[in-house]
A and B are shown apart, each in its own frame.
Chain A
Amino acid sequence: MKNWEDIFRESLEDCTDRLPDGSLEEFQRKLSSPRGRHTLAWIAVPAAAACAALALLLPHHDGGVSVKNVVAEVKEAVEPVPVSPDCVSAPQEDSREPGSQITVPVRKLIAQAPEVTEKSAPAGTVTLEAPFTNAQPGGNTYDDEPDSKETAAAGEGCEDRGISPMAPQDKGVTWVALDKASTRRRGTGVALKAGGGLLGGVGAGLLACVASGTMHGDDIELLADMGPSPRPGVHLSSANSELRRHDWIPFKAGVTARYPLAERLYLMSGLEYSIYGSEVERFLTGKKRQYAHYLSVPLRLDWSVVKKNSFELYMGAGASADFCVAARYAGRSVHKDVLGVSLTAAGGAMWKISSHAGIYLEPQLSWCPGSSSAMPRTYRTNHTLVPCVATGVRFTICEK
């Protein structure tokens, strides 16, 4: 005998409903609406994003910032400032090329520095690689001697002109960041703009620190591991020269959320933590480890390529603001300036653990422009393109 459910089934299973007026026309309109164009758009959007990412990344693949551009920008930015002749002695050759060296004698280091690396100057000197810093045709002490291989004698008063104190937090070490951005940022009021003052200041500062006993081997080591990438900045090596360095590819974990802009297009943001580790072997102090911790706020457009049940494959591109929240070298806190920006392209997979949350795993490739800040040298500062693997939890909000 049939029960009420069977009756319901028979009644509802094959019943028909009256179509509203104009239903067929509406259907034909929907059908002829450019569905193909939508499909094309889904291909075009990620393709455009990928092209944009490539356009941004490829020109900088070999070293980040274009050398010509940086030199030109620094030339514009640096204004002539008279420099005391006792601070700088003029070189003879014109060889203003990236990677050229500036040699600063540091008497106190002589005793500590019986040998130096192949890159460094003769014993007892501190060698600064200053690729773009003293390029100023016509104006300052260097104008007539545009060679970047210059010897800056330690002179009194130079300190005032060229040094900005940025040091390990617990020591009064003097440091100078010499890239284009920092040069620009300090503007007209700071003697950093003047190459001569800068070099003299560095020399004087180093001597002053060493002479006053505030700088120790570790400080020099810290100095050597601080600052922007060696490419646009200054690399300081000393008696305790770096013999070997290994920067680990960073790892990233985060909690992110994405908001659907269209059926497969998402705007993603959140908070990501990344760690950059390095192992540095030095002549005097041996192997030591360094860690820099970053918090990042990414903003990215993600396109979902495959969506199947609880699995999803996606790709995306965007930018990220990165804050260096802590940096430690051999267990000691290191001074850091915080903000960096990177452009990121990513492709990844996400497994949904609920309808609105999923665990993602994505390889990322970031382009990190040379930082203006005194950051610890890491994979990020030593390489323009930074690959990494990111994982975490991602929430999908307001998905219809």
Chain B
Amino acid sequence: MTEQELAQLCCKGDRRAQAELYTRYAARLLALCRRYCKDPDDAHDLMQDAVIKAIGRMDMYTFRGSGSLYAWMSRIAVNMAVSRLRKNRLRFISIDRDDGIDIPDPPPDDVMTIPKDVMVDMVAGLPPMRRAIFNMYCIDGYSHKEIADMLGITEKGSASNLAKARNQLKRQITTYLKDKE
């Protein structure tokens, strides 16, 4: 079944197609949500909510070639993650441990040895705002302007948070590599 057919059937409320959609994309979406949520259960909830929302709005989906359905669903998931982050923003207290010193980039060869789930844990270990900005900018390809609009912050704020997230990740990578040795 092509993406287009799948979308059309989901739009008509076909239960089998909806289950197929879930089976096809849930694992990838869960990995994406896992990057935005520290808690795995929250990530799972977010993923399911995103798929349900996507099914509910499937009539708004326009087929733009292979892979566009996942891209569209992933945007829904990111939007929902950001929306939750915005709603919970006042609950987070980030203790800024960034001393402003640039940490040298870890050697790429060593970074390639880091397992994926450790990388996910490292990203998930960032404070919520930095985590979201790092994910959106470095992995999901959003611009600072888009991030600023979505998170309700300034572009400068987005860039500043990204710099802090990078430093924090580099520190974590260095520590991990040292411990590994």
User: Taking beta carbons and an 8 Å cutoff, which residues of A are in contact with B?
Assistant: 1-9, 11-20, 23-24, 26-28, 30-31, 35, 310, 355-356, 399-400
Classify chain B's interface size.
35 or more
A15, B33: Cα distance in complex, Å: 11
- Contact status B86-A15, CB under 8 Å: no
* Contact status of A15 and B116, CB under 8 A, knowing A4-B170, A8-B138: yes
B30, chain A: closest CB distance, angstroms: 4
- Contact status B86-A8, CB under 8 Å: no
* Contact status of A17 and B22, CB under 8 A, knowing A4-B105, A4-B170, A5-B138: no
- Mark out the residues of chain B between 6 and 57 whose CB falls within 8 Å of any chain A CB in the assembled complex: 15, 18-19, 22-23, 26-28, 30-31, 34-35, 43-44, 48, 51-52, 55-56
Extra A-B contacts (10), CB below 8 Å, given A4-B111, A6-B108, A14-B28: A3-B105, A12-B31, A15-B28, A17-B28, A19-B27, A24-B22, A26-B48, A27-B26, A356-B90, A400-B87
A353, chain B: closest CB distance, angstroms: 11
With CB as the reference atom, state the residue of chain A lying closest to B56. Answer: A35
- Contact status A12-B87, CB under 8 Å: no
Contacts of B173 in A (CB 8 A): 4
With CB as the reference atom, state the residue of chain B lying closest to A29. Answer: B48
- Contact status A31-B112, CB under 8 Å: no
B176, chain A: closest CB distance, angstroms: 12
Which 7 A-B residue pairs are closest in the complex by CB-CB distance?
A: A16-B27, A17-B31, A17-B30, A4-B111, A15-B31, A7-B111, A16-B28
* Contact status of A16 and B108, CB under 8 A, knowing A8-B139, A31-B18: no
B64 is an interface residue with CB less than 8 A from chain A:
no
Partner of B116, one of A12, A19, A23, A400: A12
Name 11 interchain pairs, CB-CB below 8 A, sorted by A.
Answer: A3-B105, A4-B106, A4-B108, A8-B138, A12-B31, A15-B28, A17-B28, A19-B44, A28-B18, A355-B89, A355-B90
B148 is an interface residue with CB less than 8 A from chain A:
no
A2, B106: Cα distance in complex, Å: 11
A3, B138: Cα distance in complex, Å: 12
- Mark out the residues of chain B between 52 and 95 whose CB falls within 8 Å of any chain A CB in the assembled complex: 52, 55-56, 86-90
A28, B112: Cα distance in complex, Å: 38
Contacts of A19 in B (CB 8 A): 26-27, 30, 44
With CB as the reference atom, state the residue of chain A lying closest to B150. Answer: A309
Chain B CB within 10 Å — which of A12, A26, A31, A400 has the most? Answer: A12
Contacts of A31 in B (CB 8 A): 15, 18, 52, 55
Contact flags B104-122 to A (C-beta < 8 A → 1, else 0): 0110100110001001100
Contacts of B86 in A (CB 8 A): 355
B117, chain A: closest CB distance, angstroms: 9
Contacts of A18 in B (CB 8 A): 27
- Contact status B19-A24, CB under 8 Å: yes
A35, B86: Cα distance in complex, Å: 24
A74, chain B: closest CB distance, angstroms: 54
* Contact status of A9 and B90, CB under 8 A, knowing A17-B27, A17-B34, A24-B22: no
A119, B55: Cα distance in complex, Å: 70
* Contact status of A1 and B30, CB under 8 A, knowing A8-B119, A31-B55, A355-B86: no
A24, chain B: closest CB distance, angstroms: 6
- Contact status B152-A1, CB under 8 Å: no
A35, B19: Cα distance in complex, Å: 17
A17, B43: Cα distance in complex, Å: 11
B123 is an interface residue with CB less than 8 A from chain A:
yes
Contacts of B56 in A (CB 8 A): 35
- Contact status A12-B44, CB under 8 Å: no
Contacts of B105 in A (CB 8 A): 3-4
A19, B40: Cα distance in complex, Å: 11
With CB as the reference atom, state the residue of chain A lying closest to B120. Answer: A12
With CB as the reference atom, state the residue of chain B lying closest to A14. Answer: B28
Contacts of A28 in B (CB 8 A): 15, 18-19
Contacts of A355 in B (CB 8 A): 86-87, 89-90, 152
- Contact status B19-A12, CB under 8 Å: no
Contacts of B123 in A (CB 8 A): 8, 12
Partner of B23, one of A14, A24, A35: A24
With CB as the reference atom, state the residue of chain B lying closest to A18. Answer: B27
- Contact status A27-B27, CB under 8 Å: no
Contacts of B23 in A (CB 8 A): 24
- Contact status B27-A7, CB under 8 Å: no
